[in-house]
Chains A and B, each alone.
Chain A
């Protein structure tokens, strides 16, 4: 009896979350594919017509936004690595007793909603705002210099919003690096640079991998930064999905675009995973 109970225990414990994730995550993702192959609208209803032609159609119409989204996502991810890695490194190795405080400081801005933070940047980055204004006043920047409504502003906004998702996983692996290994490298006369490149960096790669996924995927699909900071010439694929769904009510087309976005991101992730080894990602997740 008790043996039976303990065998069933993990399933019973996992059941509520499994049901929730199954019904509201796995099923809808499959449903998305189904929806993209239908024709019709919200008033007349949807009929499954297996309209595969919608796929080449949306790709030829929106390839520009898709490429732009991937480009912005990639740029934001690289920026996040450049900024986030040193921070994670410093907190993990030199944060001392205050490590958790530093991490909380990294996460605290999240209590202010992303929309409000992005709008706040819009005011700060305005053509004569607090950031550009002073440089223009002393003549370091030309009068017509601008950041808002440019690609730079969008990438900046994305990197800003997703930076903690890069810092956290890198910190998590660096924190577990055995210091004796690093010591050993020094004892074997490795320079600081060599110890980093040959010991610390390889050990931290799974964290970078997780960080890249957590930043690249959501930032490529984000549309808040593009809408608030990017003006009309920097729309991303997220903006298109948003307006097709909620403005035009063109659900099948919108579902097809969403599916294309997901497919493109998945292809990117899988080729990236193949290059680095998938097990290590899951290891970090299992952390």
Chain B
């Protein structure tokens, strides 16, 4: 994009044109990025903090021992495992249902599209505490015991719209001629979908799935309402704040962050290679 700007700057020479001096914008953007990463740097640093006891508040020296003892709290391990199971299930169910909805909304014009839009928008912007409370009321009314299943139900509910919007955006940019070409060459509609449409949609499906995984792992408020006795990583941390958060939490937070970074990089690389 900067190339376009530079090019057009050269073409016409109006006197009061914007010229890139010291880029205040760049400075500001980087300052904001630093701000966004400050608590994460703090978390990573404190995962190497050589403390005794559970109060991980002041810096007491560098150690790797918490990485060796990352799994010293069985209930924390269970909470982390629950988080991963919920995240993966959410990614799978949300990824499929959301992609199908995104495909329908991007490809076809049909009755109920506007309502669908409205509901999706409402589901994205509804306050978490309202979603959590409403779901808890529902589960109470139908006598459904809250636990793993209800958490997955809730997470799919609030992530499915994100997947649908991501996939819809991709569907709308697809050139229909490519599919027509496949059909002209004798492919039936299923073969066309499998060999042509799906591979082109795949990066968006992956991006949507990743987003729903990240949102699921991140979620605290909705999970609190619908989890019953089940603990997840954020819930465990919340519960541990009173007694002090052990460095293992920072270790796991760091590991999740690293996995997230790797997944994102893989997705970017795959998307670049495909396009």
A contact set with B: CB distance below 8 Å: 9-11, 13-14, 16-18, 20-22, 24-29, 31-32, 35, 42, 46, 83, 86-87, 89-96, 99-102, 104-121, 123-124, 126, 130, 160, 163-164, 179, 183, 186-187, 189-192, 213-214, 217-218, 220-224, 228, 238, 241-242, 245-246, 251, 254-255, 258, 261-262, 265, 281-282, 285-287
Residues 29 to 44 of chain B near chain A (Cβ within 8 Å):
29, 32-33, 35-40, 42-43
Give me 26 A-to-B residue pairs in the complex whose CB atoms sit less than 8 angstroms apart, sorted by A's number: A10-B104, A14-B110, A20-B97, A20-B156, A21-B161, A24-B135, A24-B153, A27-B138, A102-B33, A108-B257, A109-B37, A110-B218, A111-B257, A112-B257, A114-B219, A114-B220, A115-B234, A116-B249, A126-B57, A221-B128, A223-B221, A242-B129, A245-B136, A254-B133, A255-B137, A258-B130
Are A108 and B264 in contact (CB-based, < 8 A)?
yes
Q: How many residues of B are in contact with the other chain, CB < 8 A?
A: 100
Per DSSP, are chain A's interface residues mostly helix, strand or loop, or mixed?
helix
Q: How far is the CA of A16 from the CA of B96 in the complex (A)?
A: 9
B contact set with A: CB distance below 8 Å: 1-5, 8, 12, 14-18, 20, 23, 25-26, 28-29, 32-33, 35-40, 42-43, 46, 57, 96-98, 100-101, 103-105, 107-108, 110, 112, 116-131, 133-138, 140-141, 153-154, 156-157, 160-161, 164-165, 168-169, 214-215, 217-221, 224-225, 233-234, 237-238, 241, 245, 249, 253, 256-257, 259-261, 264, 268
Q: How far is the CA of A100 from the CA of B275 in the complex (A)?
A: 14
Per DSSP, are chain B's interface residues mostly helix, strand or loop, or mixed?
helix
Please give, as numbers and ranges, the residues of chain A lying within 8 Å of B160 by CB-CB distance. Answer: 17, 20-21
Are A258 and B8 in contact (CB-based, < 8 A)?
no
Q: How far is the CA of A119 from the CA of B233 in the complex (A)?
A: 14
Are B221 and A28 in contact (CB-based, < 8 A)?
no
B252 vs chain A, min Cβ distance (A): 9
